[in-house]
Structure 1
Amino acid sequence: MTEKIKFEEEDVFGAMTLDVISKANKFNQWMYQTIKPFCKGNILEIGSGIGNISNFFIHDNFNIFLSDIRANYCLELERKFHTFENFSGTEMINLTDPDFEKNYAKHLQKYDTVFALNVVEHIHNDELAIQNCHKLLAQNGHVIILVPSYQSLFNQFDKELGHYRRYNKTSLTNVFSKSSFEIMHKQYFNFIGIFGWYISGKILKNKTIPKEQMKLYNTLVPIIKIIDKSIFNLMGLSTIIVGKKTL
C-alpha cells in the first residue's frame, strides 16, 4: 500500500468519525468546557476538522483562526463560519513542515492560545509538532494538547484513524519537556469512554465509532461528567496538558 493510498483511507475513516462525533453535541460541549478556562486572547486551532469544537468558540465570540492539514476541511470551515466577524480565517497548517518558519511566518508569535485536540497522535514527530506550537505563541501564551490515553488501548480504531501512538500524562509531559513550556495543568478526561473504546475497537474490531453507540453515549454525558469529577480525573480516554510559553 502506498503512502498516498494509506493517507486517503485514513481520511475516509477520519471523515466518518468526525461526522459521527459532530452529532454528539453534549460530548463536544463537554470537551469545549474542559479546555475553555485555559483559552485567552487571539486563538489558533490546529486540526479543526469540520469544526465540531470550533463551533463553540465561534458562538462564544472568541477571536479564532482555524486550520487543518487537509484542503477539503479548510474549505468546509470557510463555508460554515465565513459570516462570523470573530472568525479570522482558515489555512492549511502542517506542524512538521520542514520549512515551518518560512511558510508560516505570518503566524509566528501571533497567538495567545494554540490548541490541538486529537491531532498530535497523528504526527510521527510529535516533539517537533509541540516545538512549532511554541513558535506560534506570543509570550505567556497557552498551548492545549488533548490526545488519546494509554498505549494498552491501541486497537483497530487507532489503526484506521492513522494514530502513531497513545499517551499518558507522563509520556505527554516528556514530549513537552523538549520545548520551553511551563506545565500549567494536567488531567485525564472521559473515564467511561475507556470501556466503549476497548469493547468496540479491541473486542469487536470496528473500524469507526458506531453511530448508535455515540448517540447513547451523548445522552449519558451529564452522568459521565459526574463520574469524571468523582474520580478526580485520575483516569480517562484522553490526556490533556496545558503549557505556558515562558521563554
Structure 2
Amino acid sequence: MSTQPTEAYTGVDNLEVMQEAVNYNRYLLDTVRKQAPARGKVLDFGAGGGQFAAPLSKHGMDITALEPDQFLQQRLHAQGLSVVGSTQELADASIDYIYTLNVLEHIDDDEAALRSLHAKLTAKGKLLIYVPAFPVLYTSMDAKVGHVRRYTRSTLAARVSAAGFRIERIGYTDSIGFFATLAFKLIGNKDGDVSLGALKLYDRAIFPLSRALDLVARRWFGKNLLLVASKS
C-alpha cells in the first residue's frame, strides 16, 4: 500500500502523547475548519484514532475517515465515524474537501497518493496538507513513527503541482518549533519518545508565541508546512 498511509502504524504511543498538545491540536482543527466548504463530503486522509475527524464530525462535517491500520479503524468505528481503508473504496469526484495532517510524509510514493486524492475530489474540491518540514530536522522521532521524509516548500509544491493541483497557499508554520526540533536532534533521546512534560511546556508556553512569529517567518522557516490547493 505504497500510496496509502502506513498500514501498520508504529508510533501509536507518540500519537497518544500528542493528545495532550491542546493548543497545537486546536490550531489544526481551526485550520481545517477555516478551509472547509459550508457543506459537502469531507475526507480525513490518514485519520489515525479520530483525533481530528471525531470533533469535526461533531461540528456537523460529513466526514469519512480513511485509515488502513485495523486497530485504529476499530477506534474510528467506535466513535460512529464512516471508515474506509483506502482511496479505492471511494468513487471518483465524490469528495468536496480533503485534509491530511502529518500523513503524507509516511507514504513512499507520495505523488501517486496525491494523484489519487486529485481523482477523488469534485471539480471545485480543495485539499489541505500539513506535513513536517526540512530534511535537516529529521530526528529519531521521525524514524520511530515511520516518516519517509520531511519536506521543503519547493519539494512539497512540486509534488502537489505534478499531481494536477493548483496551489492557493503554502507556508511554514511553528517557527520556534524549527529550533526546538533542531535542539532535540542534537541533544535529545535516541529512541524517539516524546516527553510528556516537555510537550506540555512547549504547547502551553511557547507554541502561542511561535504562531505569532509565523506571521513574519512563514515564508522562510518553520517546523511544519501548510499547503492549500484546489483541483481545478
Q: TM-score, normalised by structure 2?
A: 0.88
Q: 1:59 to 1:233 in 2, by over 3 A?
A: farther
Counterpart residue type for residue 11 of structure 1: Y
Runs of 4+ in 1 over 3 A off after TM superposition: 230-234
Deviation of 1:60 (Å): 2.0
User: Percent of aligned positions with the same letter in both sequences?
Assistant: 25
Aligned counterparts of 2:212 and 2:114: Cα–Cα separation in 1: 31
Question: Quick check: 1:134 aligned with 2:118?
Answer: yes
Counterpart residue type for residue 137 of structure 1: L
Kept in 1, the 8 Å contact 2:115–2:163? The answer is: yes
Query: Which residue of structure 1 lines up, in the alignment, with residue 180 of structure 2?
Result: 196
Query: Which residue of structure 1 lines up, in the alignment, with residue 212 of structure 2?
Result: 226
Q: 3-state SS of the aligned residue for 1:240?
A: strand
Counterpart residue type for residue 27 of structure 2: W
Query: Which residue of structure 2 lines up, in the alignment, with residue 33 of structure 1?
Result: 30
Q: TM-score, normalised by structure 1?
A: 0.83
How many aligned positions are there? 223
Query: Which residue of structure 1 lines up, in the alignment, with residue 199 of structure 2?
Result: 214
Aligned counterparts of 2:183 and 2:216: Cα–Cα separation in 1: 23
Deviation of 1:229 (Å): 2.5
Deviation of 1:232 (Å): 4.7
Aligned counterparts of 1:190 and 1:35: Cα–Cα separation in 2: 16
Unaligned runs of 5+ in 2: 1-5
Question: Quick check: 1:15 aligned with 2:12?
Answer: yes
Question: Quick check: 1:123 aligned with 2:107?
Answer: yes
Aligned counterparts of 1:232 and 1:154: Cα–Cα separation in 2: 19
Deviation of 1:208 (Å): 2.0
Q: 3-state SS of the aligned residue for 1:134?
A: helix
- Could you list the per-position Cα deviations for residues 173-196 of structure 1 after superposition, in whole angstroms to 9, with x for gaps in the alignment? 110122221111111111122222
Query: Which residue of structure 2 lines up, in the alignment, with residue 92 of structure 1?
Result: 85
Query: Which residue of structure 1 lines up, in the alignment, with residue 228 of structure 2?
Result: 242
Q: 3-state SS of the aligned residue for 2:9?
A: helix
Deviation of 1:233 (Å): 5.6
Pairwise CA RMSD: 1.9
Query: Which residue of structure 2 lines up, in the alignment, with residue 98 of structure 1?
Result: none
